[in-house]
């Protein structure tokens, strides 16, 4: 397990680093002992709070994230670590089954893709009036990109992956019909599932 601890605009002392390391090693040993890397970031939030973000990669393909804002760094981290542990407890058995399936899945069954991060109005530096003047069809500014793999998984596994990662949507290949599906988190808190209509009709 590789552990990286960072402080943004603040120092992370040896005592806090030791506390973080000990706690995360306990969580990792209790749940699978399969964490490949963990990144912990501390940053001031407002005038009297500390924000902690933890990103943990389990096995080779699952990302688990959590964050909290509390009055001090120790409490902020402890609350975040408990969120991570709660997620792992909730999906412990399914994560183990999922890993076994993924270990048996050849790379050729995964669709290669590229994930892009597009600039918002603020990031692009354009005013509201300038945004209105953008010619129709002009591509947005790409601020980052990274390779990714679209994996085959059931709808329930996709929901698990989205919940663990904290993302609001996930694209996947449904093994029931081998077509691309998407799930997303709705504003009302429920999960939306998108499947092409012709695919859904053909599968009935």
State residue 190's pLDDT score. Answer: 93
The arrangement of secondary structure in 151-204, i.e. its CATH architecture, is 2-Layer Sandwich (3.30)
Over the stretch 166-177, which tens digit does the pLDDT of each residue have? 889 999 999 888
Place domain 2-99 in its CATH homologous superfamily.
Ribosome hibernation promotion factor-like (3.30.160.100)
Decide if pLDDT at 152 tops 60: yes
Residue 145 in contact with residue 114, Cβ under 8 Å?
A: yes
Decide if pLDDT at 122 tops 70: no
State CA 118 to chain mean position distance: 17
Decide if pLDDT at 134 tops 60: no
DSSP 67-132: EEEESSHHHHHHHHHHHHHHHHHHTHHHHHHHHHHHHTS-GGGSEEEEEEEE--HHHHT--HHHHH
State residue 49's pLDDT score. Answer: 95
Average pLDDT over residues 116-120: 73
* Token representation of residue 50: 């500390």
pLDDT higher at 8 or 101: 8
Residue 65 in contact with residue 41, Cβ under 8 Å?
A: no
pLDDT higher at 2 or 200: 2
Burial of 50 (0-12, 13-18, 19+ CB in 10 A): buried
Q: Categorize the per-residue pLDDT at 21 as very low, low, confident or very high, splitting at 50, 70 and 90.
A: very high
* Token representation of residue 54: 């933890």
pLDDT higher at 128 or 73: 73
State residue 11's pLDDT score. Answer: 92
State residue 95's pLDDT score. Answer: 75
Decide if pLDDT at 117 tops 50: yes
pLDDT higher at 182 or 166: 182
* Token representation of residue 30: 């209790």
Domain ranges of the chain: 2-99, 151-204
CA distance 131 to 197: 34
Decide if pLDDT at 80 tops 60: yes
What percent of the chain is predicted at pLDDT more than 70? 77
State residue 123's pLDDT score. Answer: 47
State residue 136's pLDDT score. Answer: 60
For the chain, the average pLDDT equals: 82
CA distance 105 to 172: 14
Decide if pLDDT at 201 tops 60: no
């Amino acid at each position: 397990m590789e552990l990286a601890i960072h402080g943004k605009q603040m120092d992370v002392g040896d005592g806090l680093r030791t506390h973080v390391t000990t706690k995360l090693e306990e969580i990792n040993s209790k749940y699978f002992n399969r964490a490949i890397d963990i990144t912990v970031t501390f940053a001031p939030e407002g005038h009297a709070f500390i924000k902690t973000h933890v990103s943990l990669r389990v096995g080779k393909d699952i990302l688990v994230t959590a964050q909290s804002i509390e009055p001090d760094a120790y409490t902020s981290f402890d609350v975040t670590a408990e969120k991570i542990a709660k997620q792992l407890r909730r999906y412990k058995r399914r994560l183990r089954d999922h890993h076994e399936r993924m270990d048996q899945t050849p790379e050729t069954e995964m669709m290669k893709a590229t994930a892009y991060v597009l600039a918002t109005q603020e990031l692009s530096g354009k005013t509201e009036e300038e945004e209105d003047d953008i010619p129709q069809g002009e591509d947005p500014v790409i601020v980052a990109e990274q390779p990714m793999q679209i994996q085959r998984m059931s709808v329930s596994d996709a929901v698990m992956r989205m919940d663990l990662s904290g993302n609001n949507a996930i694209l996947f290949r449904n093994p029931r019909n081998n077509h691309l599906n998407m799930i997303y988190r709705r504003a009302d808190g429920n999960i939306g599932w998108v499947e092409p209509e012709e695919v859904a009709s053909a599968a009935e």
